[in-house]
Amino acid sequence: MGDFFLQEGNQNKCPRGASLRFAHPAPSKARPRILPVFLPLAGCPGRCLFCAQHAQTGVKTTSLEQSHDFLERCLEAARPDAPLEVGFYGGTFTALPRAWRDRFMATASRHRERGVVSGVRCSTRPDRAQAGLLRELAAQGLDRVELGVQTFCERVLRLAERGHGADASLEACLAVREAGLGLSLHLLPGLPGHTPEDFARDVEQAAALAPEAVRLHPCLVLAGTGLEQLWRSGGYEPWSLERTIKALAPAVLRLWRAGVAVTRIGLAHEPDLEAAVLAGPTHPALGMRVRALALHLFVAELLGDRRAAGLRAPAAVSGGFWGHARELAAPYAALGLERDRVRFEDRDDFQLDVRDD
Ligand code: SF4
C-alpha cells in the first residue's frame, strides 16, 4: 500500500495499511520581531473586572511620556537588518488623547523611513474601534489591530461588566477589515459564567471571522481586580487547569484548521504576574501542553477507528510531542503509538503508518 496525501475532506478515506503524509496542522506564518510598548490602562474607559495590566505587563510605567521615551530609545538603537514591529499594548490605544496617538504614530513612521520598523500594531477594545478612526490610523501607518474581544457571549459580557455587547465586537472586526488592517483577536475563556460550551462557540465565531491570529488568555484571579473581590466572596470559581487544557486543545485545533495562527496561550510569565495570581489555571508550560494535546487530537481524528503502526515526525516537534512529563504517552499508546513506534527525523512533514488489521 502506498503513500496517501492528506487533503481537506479526505481524512477518513485513508485505507488500512497505507502511509498517511501530512503537514503539521498549525499554519506556518512569519513571526515578526515585536517591540512591545506598554501603555498600562491608557485610554481605558474604566477598569475591567479581570484586568491588572501593571502585573500582566510587568511595566511600572505610569506616564505616556515615559512610554514614548522608551519607544524612541528602542527605535534609535534598532538596526535596519533586524527591523521591529511596534506593538502598542496594555491599554486602549485607539482611545488615547488624539495628540498622543498622533505622536506615537509619527515616531513609529519616522523610524519606519529609516528601515527599522517593519510594521505597527495596537491592541484595543471593540467599542473603541470605529471605522473612521481606524482609517485615520491606517493612513498614519497602523498595520494591524488586536481586538480584546474576550468572548462573544452576551451573558458573560454582561456579568463581566465589559460595557459592550457582542455586536460591538462583530462591528469592530468588520471595521478593521474595511480599514485594510490585519486582525488579531484575544479570547478570555473562563470568565464568570463562561462554560467550555460557550468557549467552543466563541472559537467557532472567531474562526468564521478569519483573523490572522488569535491569543488565548485563560481567566486568572489577579490581585487588586474586581474579580478578586468576587472570588473572595465566593461568587466566582476559575476553571481548573485540567478543564482549561481540555477546552483549549480542541479550540486550538479548530483555529489551526481554519488557517488561524494561535500566537499565545496564557499570559507571559512575568515575575510580577506570578506574584499577582491568586487563583486560576496557570502552568509554566501551558502553551506547550495545549498545543501537544491539539496535535494528539489531530492524529487521533486522522486514525478514526484504525490503529497506527508507526509515526515519523519532524525533529522540530520532538520537544513537546509527548506533552509535559510525558502526559501524552498513554493517549498515544492507545492509538498504537508506543514510544518505540514514533521516530523523529530530519523532515518537514509527518508520515503515519496505518495498521492493516
Ligand atoms: S481589559 Fe483592556 S479595556 Fe479593560 S481595563 Fe484592561 S486594558 Fe483596559
Q: In what order do the strands lie in the sheet with 308-314?
A: 3-5, 19-22, 350-354, 308-314, 342-345
Lowest-pLDDT range, 37-46, 93-102, 107-116, 163-172?
37-46
Domain count, the chain: 2
Q: Is pLDDT of 233 > 90? A: yes
Q: Answer yes or no: is 288 within a domain.
A: no
Check whether residue 76 and residue 195 sit in a common domain.
yes
* CA 353–ligand 1 middle distance (angstroms): 48
Check whether residue 267 and residue 302 sit in a common domain.
no
pLDDT in tens, 275-329: 899 999 999 999 999 999 999 999 999 999 999 999 999 999 999 999 999 999 9
Residue nearest to atom 7 of ligand 1 (CA): 91
| Average pLDDT for 184-196 | 98
Q: Answer yes or no: is 95 within a domain.
A: yes
Q: Among 37, 48, 61, 220, which is best to mutate for testing ligand 1, by the most ligand atoms less than 8 A from CB?
A: 48
Q: In what order do the strands lie in the sheet with 34-38?
A: 34-38, 84-89, 117-124, 144-150, 182-187, 213-216, 261-265
pLDDT at 18: 83
Check whether residue 258 and residue 335 sit in a common domain.
no
Check whether residue 96 and residue 245 sit in a common domain.
yes
Q: What is the DSSP letter of 83?
A: -
| Average pLDDT for 26-54 | 91
* Domain ranges, residue 71: 34-283
Q: Is pLDDT of 344 > 60? A: yes
pLDDT at 271: 76
Say how far apart CA 293 and CA 253 lie, in whole Å: 9
Q: What is the mean pLDDT of the chain?
A: 93
* CA 48–ligand 1 middle distance (angstroms): 5
Q: Are 188 and 50 spatial neighbours (Cβ–Cβ below 8 Å)?
A: yes
Q: Are 284 and 268 spatial neighbours (Cβ–Cβ below 8 Å)?
A: no
CB within 8 Å of 294: residues ≥ 6 apart: 25, 249, 250, 252, 253, 256
More confident residue, 195 or 10: 195
Check whether residue 262 and residue 321 sit in a common domain.
no
CB within 8 Å of 220: residues ≥ 6 apart: 50, 238, 267, 277, 278, 279, 280, 281, 282
| Average pLDDT for 142-170 | 97
> Domain holding 50: CATH number?
3.20.20.70
pLDDT in tens, 133-148: 999 999 999 999 999 9
DSSP result, 307-334: -EEEEEEEGGGTTTTT-GGGTTHHHHHT
Check whether residue 75 and residue 197 sit in a common domain.
yes
Residue nearest to atom 6 of ligand 1 (CA): 51
Residue nearest to atom 3 of ligand 1 (CA): 44
Say how far apart CA 87 and CA 109 lie, in whole Å: 13
- pTM score over 0.85: yes
Check whether residue 78 and residue 182 sit in a common domain.
yes
Q: Are 247 and 197 spatial neighbours (Cβ–Cβ below 8 Å)?
A: no
Check whether residue 171 and residue 205 sit in a common domain.
yes
| Residues whose beta carbon lies within 6 Å of some atom of ligand 1 | 41, 44, 47-48, 51, 53, 91-92, 125, 148
> Which numbered atom of ligand 1 lies nearest the CA of 150?
1
Check whether residue 227 and residue 347 sit in a common domain.
no
